[in-house]
């Protein structure tokens, strides 16, 4: 059987068994985008303004609500309204990393109530498979999905080798898991997404160890499904709409090139 990465998003949407992934692939095909915006801003106003401007060009909005200084329940409602308006999903990049019972409380409760509004979240697998089971007890019945951190984009990261292999094994056998954070396609045992951070139109890095790779390297060569881009779109002296369009086009063209290989 051909790799899942050699199939179109439309074909994968038709065949997939997870409703949330079917919905995501349909959005990607409909909007001709595999771009996720990493909206690492610190106020409600900034986040909502950015989401509204860039929403037409993305398939997923990635948030870090714990850096929003003025977070309240109204923000979650406003994000949900923008997701409906612009046809994208919301991914809260929480990176849960505790035992199953604790993450249940963190995911379903607290001041953020992430499971109520985020279609997707993610976790480390350091605590073992119980973290997946704990999160699934909260999110699975609501149609949510979980990504496992198989790799990270920072220099010197420790998620490699046997750790990554064990993470992939956990993903394959847990239906609540819909994919990975990583730089490549990890398995053909299930159609599991890969979302890749640290993507830039020019390979480089920053002073804190972030490493950037191009859409062609990540999507065409490595078989990743969604590129995650942040400061390159909305950083200083950037026009977020113009930059989102550039990355939407670059990511989509990289996907079309992959299909031709």
Calpha distance 196→177 (Å, rounded): 16
Any residues with CB less than 8 A from the CB of 74 and at least 6 apart, and which? 44
What mean pLDDT comes out for the span 237-242?
A: 96
Among the ranges given (15-29, 116-130, 194-208, 210-224), the one the predictor scored with the smallest mean pLDDT: 194-208
Judge whether residue 157 has pLDDT over 70.
no
For residue 203, pLDDT over 80 is answered with no
pLDDT for the residue 155? 64
Q: What residues pair up with 211 in beta bridges, in sequence order?
A: 205
Sign of CA dihedral 159, 196, 222, 179: positive
pLDDT of the residue at 159: 62
Q: Whole-model pTM?
A: 0.94
Q: What is the pLDDT of residue 142?
A: 97
For residues 85-100, give the mean pLDDT. Answer: 98
Identify the sign of the CA torsion 28, 32, 34, 36. Answer: negative
Catalytic residue positions?
95
Average per-residue pLDDT for the chain? 94
**Where is pLDDT greater, at 211 or 87?**
87
| 45-55 mean pLDDT | 98
């Amino acid at each position: 059987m051909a790799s899942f990465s050699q199939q179109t998003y439309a074909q994968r949407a038709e065949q997939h068994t997870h409703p949330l992934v079917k919905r995501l692939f349909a959005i990607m095909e409909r909007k001709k985008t595999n771009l996720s915006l990493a909206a690492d801003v610190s106020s409600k106003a900034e986040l909502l303004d950015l989401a509204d401007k860039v929403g037409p060009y993305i398939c997923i909005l990635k948030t870090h609500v714990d850096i929003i200084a003025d977070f309240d329940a109204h923000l979650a409602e406003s994000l949900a309204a923008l997701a409906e308006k612009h046809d994208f999903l919301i991914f809260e990049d929480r990176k849960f990393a505790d035992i199953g019972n604790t993450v249940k409380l963190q995911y379903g409760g607290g001041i953020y109530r992430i499971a109520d509004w985020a279609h997707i979240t993610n976790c480390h697998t350091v605590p073992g498979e119980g973290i997946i089971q704990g999160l699934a007890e909260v999110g699975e019945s609501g149609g949510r999905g979980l990504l496992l951190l198989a790799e990270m984009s920072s220099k010197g990261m420790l998620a490699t080798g046997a750790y990554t292999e064990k993470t992939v094994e956990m993903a394959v056998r847990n239906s609540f898991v819909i994919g990975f954070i990583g730089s490549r396609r990890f398995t053909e045992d299930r159609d599991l997404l890969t979302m890749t951070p640290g993507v830039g139109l020019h390979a480089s890095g920053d002073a804190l160890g972030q490493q950037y790779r191009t859409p062609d390297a990540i999507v065409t060569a490595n078989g990743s499904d969604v590129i995650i881009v942040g400061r390159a779109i909305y950083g200083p002296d950037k026009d977020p709409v113009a930059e989102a369009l550039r990355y939407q086009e670059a990511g989509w063209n990289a996907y079309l090139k992959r299909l031709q290989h």
